[in-house]
Structure 1
Amino acid sequence: MRRGTLYRAASLIVVAGLIVCAAMLWRPSIDPLAQAPAVDEASARRGARVAEQGDCAVCHTRPGGAYMAGGLPLVTPFGTLYTTNITPDRDTGIGSWPPEAFVRAMRHGVSRDGHFLYPAFPYVHYSKMSDGDISDVYAYLMSVDPVSARAPENHMMFPMNFRPLVSFWNLLFLRDDRLTDLPDRSAQWNRGRYLVEGAGHCSSCHTPLNFIGGEKGSEHLGGGLVDGWNAPALTGMAQRSNPWTAEQLVTYLRAGVAGHHGAAAGPMLPVSLSLAQLPEADAQAIADYLLSLDSNSLDSNTPSSGPDCEATGAASAGAASRVSAPALAQGEALFAGACAGCHGGGAPMRTIDGRPGLSVVSAATASDPRNLIKTILDGIPMSDRAPSHYMPPFADTLDDAHIAALAGYLRNQACGAAPWRDLQQTVNTLRQEGQSK
């Protein structure tokens, strides 16, 4: 009798567990719209601003592709994803999505048909947005030109190619907690916090990830790695030896050239071009919030961004790591031939375009040479959006030894006591990474 009771109890536990798992791994579909929704023009105009704040087009418009039609490859540690079509095309886009399906995707990462979206779509941040902003984005997307374009199949490694597993990821990292203003802070600061932590999803790039792709909460905004570029820490920006001012940060965020720091490049360039289309008040609010953050602002365990000119390993290496005189001479000659026309002391562009001397830019004073080398290799492309600045790529005109010598020279000008190490190997690695994409 006792054995039978145990069997029944065990069976009930197993069945209950299966029911719980099934509930976690499955979401119901939402019926499609019978016809295209009517679009409120005022809501769509507001939504256009929110879409720029969220950089929607940056991910959902591939180079040479139609606006918001998707198809951009996103390379992750778990495989390659392709962004989806979010135009109002009924067959390949979101034209048949009712508002509640769009809200569910934004807040919970679930598509209209019930499948889980991969968290490369930053719904963990969009869930913090207001109902009004999400509604306005929906209105805006329903107002853009529909495009028939189906995204290529994703190529994800096992077990991440089994989408229902995302539900367990959501248990760990998804919090449907909408941001509310802090009463002891100014309206501008609260606005900046809302943009950074919500639509702007800045921590998606500027926070390190753990082994399953979740943001490390204890290192929030402590810096990350994106497409081979360092996304620097956003904490302690006002306390560095080369501190950011509000004016410099607003200029940088709006795709300008910030004195003593430089201009956006790499993955940050399209973000800054989006912010440049918005009222300057948005960039001012973001700057107000970010410059208020020091190493203890968000969490007692958040690491300090560290002083500028901190070289990894150089302190222990001592004089042995110093750049040799011949290498410096070679770097100086390369600078005179390739860079001085825009960045030399008497260069007209220093006055006309506000270009900084390269010895003071953040990429030269950072602890890691990656961003300086990537900028030399890839340059900064022209944009059809204003403002735009340009730097030619040197990947095809300078070899690894030349780029290493140039980077070593610039680092010596900026931080002679803390040289970077293994520069030529770093250049070779970054070049190979770029060629493999």
Structure 2
Amino acid sequence: MRFLLAAILVPLVLVAGFLAYALSPREIEAIAPPARVSFSPVAIERGQRLALLGNCNVCHTAEGGRPYSGGYGVETPFGTIYGTNITPEPETGIGAWSLEAFDRSMREGIDREGRHLYPAFPYDHFTKISDGDVAALYAFLMTREPVREAARANDLPFPLRFRPLLAGWKLLAFREGRFEPDAAADAEVDYGRYLVEGLGHCGACHTPRNLIQAERRDAALRGGVSAGWTAPAIAGEAAAAVPWTQASLETYLSDGFDPDHGAGAGPMQPVGVNLARTPSEDARAVAAYLMTVLQPRPALPPPLADPAADPATIALFEGACLFCHDGAASGGARGVTLDRSTAVQAEDATNLVNFLFHGRQPAAGSAGSHMPGFAAALTNDQAEALVAYVRARYSGLPPFPDTAEAVRAARRASAP
């Protein structure tokens, strides 16, 4: 009988305890939007820099929308989660949030009303940010132009719309805590680690995830996926024909392009755009830290000088690709030479196919490398043959294992 009672009571107690925890966050009292004069110009300027480093404008601005007014859709395996309005508008934004409420959202993933936030908002990284930087980011956001824009409803199945369930995810995957400096480390390297692990939340894209979509701590920065692109490993062995150096990493991060590796595209492209607008010491520090965790890949066999391909594929390559991407043929490549492209050297065809279909266009108002997309000009079979030919001609690696699926996925993404 005692065993039966225990078998009944223990689960009930555990469930009750979980519900108490899940429903425990209190609502923090609303405030009137603070006046701009209540924030120092130094804090606002620092906050602007932090907002760029954290790419806040990317996830909190819809295409064609007002800055920070929300509406951008973050695709997850469970559905779409939309970025919220973080302008100081009191009813639809965060104008009624105190610094305490803002700090709690960053540290614990709980909004002012006491609701758990989805980890598409990377509070598992933001929890590491210093108190001063949280306050500076708050000062910047609360001095933006208020925009009245209600949040879009997330496109999630019913169980996941019940936010208290997120408390279970936090129990399994979230660890609150500030960044811990390493007194023995070089100051620049440690600042880079602070940016990578904290505000920059690099692991959100560059770390593989487990079944509950939490980052795998045992494979931090070893590569992941984001918005249909492969986010390559930036720790451990990196797929690169030319080993990364601190100088080339810094160039890539701040310019979005490095001639020995290629151009940032997809979700990485706005990261470079934002880093180019912050002091150079930020990209330099990130590069310095990454050089302590990157390892060169062993030397590869030479690529095939004349890979087998049908004449139509060779003609397609020579007409569409050769002039811009082969230095010898063009008298100086306008794009990265393909034997150095990290997309060609990658473990799968995803990024190379994405470049082929979508190209790369500079952000509005900024300069940068440009490549047209060829999705409308190529059939799936042509794209698959072209990617296979480029892989064989410009790398000493085996054929991509999944080219056909990568082409189909890119085709779906390019559909209107």
The TM-score normalised by the length of structure 1 is: 0.86
Classify the secondary structure of the residue corresponding to 1:80: strand
Say if 2:340 is the partner of 1:357.
no
Whole-angstrom CA distance in 1 between matches of 2:205 and 2:130:
22
- Shift in CA distance, 239/400, structure 1 to aligned 2, threshold 3 Å: closer
Secondary structure at 2:144 match in 1: coil
1:102-138 residue CA offsets vs partner (Å, 9 max, x unmatched): 0000000000011111000000100001000000000
The whole-number CA distance in structure 2 between the counterparts of 1:187 and 1:206 is 24
Alpha carbons 1:73, 1:83 under 8 Å: kept: yes
Match in the other structure for 2:362 = 382
Q: How does 1:298-377 map to 2 (within 5 A)?
A: 325-327=308-310, 329-345=311-327, 350=332, 355-377=335-357
1:73-92 equivalence runs, <5 A: 73-92=73-92
| TM-superposition CA deviations, 1:345-386 (whole Å, max 9, x none) | 2577946x6x32122211111121110111110111221253
Q: Once structures 1 and 2 are overlaid, which stretch shifts more, 373-382 or 150-159?
A: 150-159
Q: Give the aligned partner of residue 263 of structure 1.
A: 263
- Provide the rounded CA distance (Å) in 2 between the counterparts of 1:154 and 1:276: 32
Take 2:39 and 2:128, find their aligned partners in 1: how far apart are those partners?
Answer: 24
Cα RMSD (Å): 2.9
Q: Deviations over 1:323-362 (max 9, x none)?
A: 97333x43332222112332232577946x6x32122211
**C-alpha separation in 2, matches of 1:121 and 1:373:** 28
Deviation of 1:238 after TM superposition, in Å, equals 7.2
1:404 is matched with 384
Identity of aligned residues (%): 40
Runs (4 or more) in structure 1 with deviation over 6 Å come to 10-13
Secondary structure of 2:75's counterpart equals: strand
- Paired position in structure 2 for 1:301: none
Structure 2: tracts of 5 or more residues without a match: none
* CA shift in 2, pair 1:261/1:89, >3 Å: same
Out of 386, 406, 413, the position equivalent to 1:426 is: 406
1:166 counterpart SS class: helix
Amino acid at match of 2:319: G
Contact 1:309 1:418 in 2 (8 A): no
Q: Is the 8 A contact 1:412 1:419 kept in 2?
A: yes
Match of 1:33 among 31, 34, 49: 31
CA contact (8 A) 1:192 1:286 kept: yes
- Equivalent position SS for 2:160: coil
In 1, Cα distance between equivalents of 2:308 and 2:182: 55
Cα 1:66–1:347 change in 2 (3 A) is: farther
CA deviation string 1:184-237 (max 9, x = no partner): 210100010000000000001111111111111111111111111110111135
Distance 1:221 1:235 in 2: 5
Measure, in 1, the Cα distance between the counterparts of 2:14 and 2:239: 54
Deviates more, 1:245-254 or 1:331-340: 331-340
Return closer, same or farther for 1:220/1:7 CA change in 2, 3 Å cut-off: closer
Distance (whole Å) between structure 1 residues aligned to residue 292 and residue 344 of structure 2: 24
Q: Secondary structure at the match of 1:225?
A: strand
User: Match for 1:390: what amino acid?
Assistant: H
Q: What SS does structure 2 have at the residue aligned with 1:81?
A: strand
Deviates more, 1:418-427 or 1:176-185: 418-427
Deviation at 1:426, TM superposition (A): 3.1
- Deviation track 1:16-38 (CA, whole Å, cap 9, x = no partner) reads 86255223323110111034343
Partners of 2:158 and 2:299 in 1: CA distance = 41
How does 1:15-414 map onto structure 2 within 5 Å? Answer: 18=16, 21-37=19-35, 38-236=38-236, 242-294=242-294, 325-327=308-310, 329-345=311-327, 350=332, 355-414=335-394
Aligned counterparts of 2:11 and 2:236: Cα–Cα separation in 1: 51
The one-character-per-residue Cα deviations of 1:125-174 (angstroms, maximum 9, x if unpaired) are: 00001000000000000111110111211121242211001111112222
Contact 1:88 1:145 in 2 (8 A): yes
**Pairwise CA distance, 1:306:** 6.0
Residues 70-111 of structure 1 show CA distances to partners (whole Å, capped at 9, x for unaligned) of 101111111111110000011100011011000000000000
Following the alignment from structure 1 to structure 2, what is the Cα–Cα distance between the partners of residues 356 and 65?
Answer: 33
8 Å Cα contact 2:238-2:297 kept in structure 1:
no
Alpha-carbon distance, 1:434 to partner: 4.1
- The separation in 1 between residues aligned to 2:96 and 2:257, in whole angstroms, is 43
Give the stretch that moved more between structures: 339-348 or 273-282.
Answer: 339-348
Give SS of 1:104's match.
Answer: helix
Native 8 Å contact 1:308 1:366 kept in 2: no
* Pairwise CA distance, 1:308: 7.7
Residue 385 and residue 54 in structure 1: after superposition, are their counterparts in 2 closer, same or farther (change >3 A)? farther
How far is the alpha carbon of 1:278 from its aligned partner? 0.9
Cα distance between partner residues in 2 of 1:139 and 1:210:
36
Give the 3 Å change call, closer, same or farther, for CA 292–16 of structure 1 in structure 2: closer
Q: Distance in 1 between matches of 2:5 and 2:63?
A: 60
* Closer/same/farther in 2, CA of residues 306 and 91 from structure 1, 3 Å limit: same
Name the residue aligned to 1:302.
none
CA distance in 2, matches of 1:63, 1:172: 34
Question: What amino acid does structure 1 have at the position aligned with 2:171?
Answer: L
- Long gaps (5+) in structure 1: 296-304, 311-318
Q: State the Cα distance separating 1:287 from its structure 2 match.
A: 0.6
Partner SS state of residue 230, structure 2: strand
**TM-score, scaled relative to structure 2:** 0.90
